[in-house]
Amino acid sequence: MTSEASTAATPVPETITGIVAAILGRDAAELTPDTDLRSVEGADSIKVLRIVAKLEQTYDIELEDDEIFGLRTIDEVVAVVGRALARDHG
């Protein structure tokens, strides 16, 4: 199975949580939909940019600056990615 196929088969929230966990060096089980990403140990602006880049690559979307500034929780990231998917692939 290709990574594209496995991403398509995995629900968006799970994929996003996995990406966030990998980049922040955390276990995905430690992160909940309402986890404040700013409070996760090791989170900094460079890692947030890496998360955004990985999300854009994974989903073949482009997130606007105004969409990503101010994101706090994984749920908010999921919502932004969902809107971008609808807009870019709708």
* Better pLDDT: 10 or 56: 56
> Which residues does residue 36 pair with via DSSP β-bridges, in sequence order?
73
pTM of the model: 0.86
Following CA atoms 12, 27, 65, 44 in sequence, which dihedral angle do they give, to the nearest 10 degrees? 180
* Tens of pLDDT, residues 26-85: 999 999 999 998 889 888 889 989 999 999 999 999 999 898 888 899 999 999 999 999
Long-range contacts of 80-86 (CB under 8 A, 24+ apart): 81/12, 81/16, 81/55, 82/12, 84/59, 85/12, 85/59, 85/61
Hey, what domains does the chain have and what are their CATH numbers?
Answer: 3-89 (1.10.1200.10)
